[in-house]
């Protein structure tokens, strides 16, 4: 990747200098700035008004100590983060990630991408992200609760239903959101929609659990339909086996695809008969165990150690739904050699720049994360609306709105790509369409 426009290249150089050692953040910014070259050439006012310089700098970063006591009585200390990146079009909105790999560069990359993703949804939400290097794996429910309460004790000072509304991401699901919501309510004495992904008995939205995976498949279906194709009869490989992967598997199967593989950070399973999702849900959602347990249900399936081997399985559609940079050039080349037709990103930034280049050069239909996985946050925004109204829509109502939103995102990204001379390049189209709304709101609000 290289940025040719001199102004944008200088912004990129400054981002690297001002944020040393944050490789994932640099990667995310570079991809967006590269897409914006034709935009600033047509609209130099974005440069003149300092929009580009502002958009790469978070409005606020909060970093804090999270002390908690484990089951043996020992004090443990983790680090908490919230990056409030951009509030031009709405309150900061974005998930919380609990994973040992979390540091400021990961949260900044996720927060930066969230600005454009949230803009693409068409709903009034700004960009933010947070998390901790806490590892929920192997912890008891009580340990997770004490950690979440300590995390929220500090975070509660900085968020609010009209200020900043966190949700889940890797390592943060219904259990963690429940513990954090309880603590927020207790500290503030308020029952508001300050978090999304809440349980259905206390303000959560129907279909939020399913939304990211379902939305990914609705987006993919729209992209395929544009070429006269569909999921029907296609072999699908999905990485991960968490929230996004599970509901992508369900919807891809409903739409006529056959999902043959899933993974976790230890390895992957291959079931040529099609994944038995009930078994996976039991292992992952109920027992919180490793994906290799699938062999206890289906001894005829295969388990392989290591997660990158999954990209060597022949498939028509690949849906990476685990983590950033899980597909490198080598994995992308294997997918292409095996004739992959479409790749759609459920995870955030799962394909590295070399992999994206390989897919695009080979003419693979490629749906970038910002557009393809926006269904989760879009449904979070629908949860915020329902909380404000003190009302709940049915599953069918939320699901229909989600589908509309995903189809619109596809058409808006495709149209922006065409308008700026990059037909079929949904990476550029999503970045441009997401950027324009935020940039115009920033221009209208003056230097703030
Ligand atoms: P979960 O925690 O539910 O599941 C994460 C899955 O990815 C697990 O199978 C996990 O395996 C695997 N994984 C995580 N880290 C790594 C790693 N470093 N290497 C290999 N595998 C890994 O998270 P989600 O399903 O919610 O999130 C998955 C992706 O989707 C993330 O990129 C997230 O940012 C993105 N996303 C999530 C949204 C949501 O609404 N939840 C919305 C939009 C995007 P293991 O259990 O072994 O760690
Ligand atoms: O990356 C994402 O969009 C999410 N983790 C969901 C964020 C949200 O606020 O629902």
Which letter does DSSP use for residue 90 in this model? S
C-alpha torsion sign, points 409, 321, 144, 203: positive
Pairing assessment for the beta strands 126-132 and 60-69 based on DSSP bridges: unpaired
Residue bearing tokens 């680090």: 79
Residue bearing tokens 């992508």: 248
Catalytic residue among 93, 117, 129, 403: 129
The alpha carbon of 387 and the centre of ligand 2 are apart by a number of angstroms equal to 17
pLDDT at 282 over 70: yes
**What value does the mean pLDDT take over residues 192-207?**
98
Measured from the alpha carbon of residue 211, the closest ligand is 1
pLDDT at 419: 97
pLDDT at 64 over 80: yes
**What is the three-class DSSP state of 245?**
helix
pLDDT at 2: 85
Q: For helices 395-419 and 375-389, give the axis angle rounded to 10 degrees.
A: 130
Distance CA 332, CA 326 (A): 10
Q: Which is nearest to 62 in space by CA: 192, 138, 156?
A: 156
The alpha carbon of 346 and the centre of ligand 1 are apart by a number of angstroms equal to 9
**What value does the mean pLDDT take over residues 79-108?**
98
Residue bearing tokens 């550029």: 428
Cα–Cα distance list, 8 to 27, 52, 422, 442 (Å): 14, 8, 19, 18
Q: Which is nearest to 155 in space by CA: 88, 59, 79?
A: 79
**What is the three-class DSSP state of 351?**
strand
When pLDDT is cut at 50, 70 and 90, the band that residue 204 belongs to is very high
The answer to whether 218 and 402 are in contact (CB under 8 A) is yes
Residue nearest to ligand 1 atom 29, measured at CA = 347
Is-catalytic flag, 129?
yes
- Give residues with Cβ within 8 angstroms of 169, minimum separation 6: 94, 95, 96, 97, 110, 129, 131
**What value does the mean pLDDT take over residues 85-112?**
98
In the chain, % of residues over pLDDT 70 = 100
Residue nearest to ligand 2 atom 10, measured at CA = 377
pLDDT at 221 over 90: yes
Residue nearest to ligand 1 atom 38, measured at CA = 169
Cα–Cα distance list, 198 to 144, 166, 203, 290, 335 (Å): 16, 11, 6, 25, 37
* Structure tokens, 141: 């429910």
- Give residues with Cβ within 8 angstroms of 316, minimum separation 6: 234, 235, 236, 339, 340, 341, 342
Cβ neighbourhood burial of 133 (10 Å; 0-12, 13-18, 19+): middle
pLDDT at 290: 98
The alpha carbon of 443 and the centre of ligand 1 are apart by a number of angstroms equal to 35
Distance CA 109, CA 370 (A): 12
pLDDT at 390: 97
Distance CA 413, CA 22 (A): 28
Residue nearest to ligand 1 atom 22, measured at CA = 265
**Which residues pair with residue 343 across a beta bridge?**
318, 366
pLDDT tens-digit map of 125-156: 999 999 999 999 999 999 999 999 999 999 99
pLDDT at 1 over 80: no
H helices within 121-271, ranges in order?
Answer: 141-155, 174-188, 208-225, 243-254
**What value does the mean pLDDT take over residues 192-201?**
97
Distance CA 371, CA 362 (A): 21
pLDDT tens-digit map of 84-98: 999 999 999 999 999
Distance CA 80, CA 85 (A): 16
Task: Write phi, then psi, for 319 (nearest 5 degrees).
Answer: -125, 90
Q: Which atom of ligand 2 is nearest to the CA of 169?
A: 5
pLDDT at 184 over 70: yes
Task: Write phi, then psi, for 178 (nearest 5 degrees).
Answer: -60, -50
Q: Which is nearest to 13 in space by CA: 35, 33, 38?
A: 33
Total-model pTM:
0.98
Measured from the alpha carbon of residue 345, the closest ligand is 1
Q: Which atom of ligand 2 is nearest to the CA of 93?
A: 9
Residue bearing tokens 């990129």: 12
The alpha carbon of 351 and the centre of ligand 1 are apart by a number of angstroms equal to 14
pLDDT tens-digit map of 13-52: 999 999 999 999 999 999 999 999 999 999 999 999 999 9
Cα Dmax for the chain: 63
The alpha carbon of 151 and the centre of ligand 2 are apart by a number of angstroms equal to 18
Pocket of ligand 1 (CB under 6 A): 168-171, 173, 212, 240-245, 264-266, 307, 321-323, 346-348, 373, 376
In the chain, % of residues over pLDDT 90 = 99
Q: Which atom of ligand 2 is nearest to the CA of 166?
A: 9
Residue nearest to ligand 2 atom 3, measured at CA = 377
When pLDDT is cut at 50, 70 and 90, the band that residue 187 belongs to is very high
The answer to whether 378 and 196 are in contact (CB under 8 A) is no
């Amino acid at each position: 990747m290289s940025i040719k426009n001199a102004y944008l290249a200088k912004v990129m150089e400054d981002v690297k200098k001002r944020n040393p050692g944050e490789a994932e953040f640099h990667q995310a910014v570079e991809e967006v700035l590269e897409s914006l070259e034709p935009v600033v050439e047509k609209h130099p006012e974005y440069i003149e008004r300092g929009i580009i310089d502002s958009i790469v700098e978070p409005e606020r970063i909060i970093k804090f100590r999270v002390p908690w006591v484990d089951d043996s009585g020992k004090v443990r200390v983790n680090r908490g983060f919230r990056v409030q990146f951009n509030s031009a079009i709405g309150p900061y909105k974005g998930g919380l990630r609990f994973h040992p790999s979390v540091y400021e560069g990961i949260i900044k990359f996720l927060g930066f991408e969230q600005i454009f993703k949230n803009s693409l949804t068409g709903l009034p939400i700004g960009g933010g992200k947070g998390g901790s290097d806490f590892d929920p794996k192997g912890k008891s429910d009580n340990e997770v609760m004490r950690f979440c309460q300590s995390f929220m004790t500090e975070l509660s000072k900085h968020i609010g239903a009209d200020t900043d509304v966190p949700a889940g991401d890797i390592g943060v699901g219904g259990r963690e959101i429940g513990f954090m919501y309880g603590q927020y309510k207790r500290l503030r004495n308020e029952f508001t929609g300050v978090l999304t992904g809440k349980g259905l008995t206390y303000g959560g939205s129907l279909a939020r659990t399913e939304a990211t995976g379902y939305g990914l498949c609705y987006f993919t279906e729209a992209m395929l339909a544009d070429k006269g194709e569909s999921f029907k009869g296609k072999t699908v490989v999905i990485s991960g086996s968490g929230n996004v992967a599970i509901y992508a598997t369900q919807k891809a199967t409903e739409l006529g695809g056959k999902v043959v593989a899933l993974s976790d950070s230890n390895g992957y399973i291959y079931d040529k008969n099609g994944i038995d999702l009930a078994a996976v849900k039991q292992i992952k959602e109920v027992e919180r165990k490793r994906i290799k347990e699938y062999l206890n249900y289906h001894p005829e399936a295969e388990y392989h150690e290591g997660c990158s081997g999954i990209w060597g399985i022949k498939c028509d559609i690949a849906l990476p739904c685990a983590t950033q940079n899980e597909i490198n050039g080598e994995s992308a080349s294997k997918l292409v050699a095996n004739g992959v037709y479409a790749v759609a990103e459920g995870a955030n930034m799962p394909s590295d720049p070399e992999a994206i280049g390989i897919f695009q050069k080979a003419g693979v239909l490629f749906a970038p994360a910002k557009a393809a996985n926006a269904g989760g946050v879009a449904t979070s925004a629908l949860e915020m609306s329902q909380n404000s109204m003190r009302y709940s829509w049915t599953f069918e109502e939320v699901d229909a709105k989600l589908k509309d939103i995903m189809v619109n995102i596809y058409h808006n990204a495709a149209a922006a790509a065409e308008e700026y001379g990059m037909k079929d390049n949904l990476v550029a189209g999503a970045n441009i369409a997401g950027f324009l709304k935020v940039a115009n709101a920033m221009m209208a609000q003056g230097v703030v």
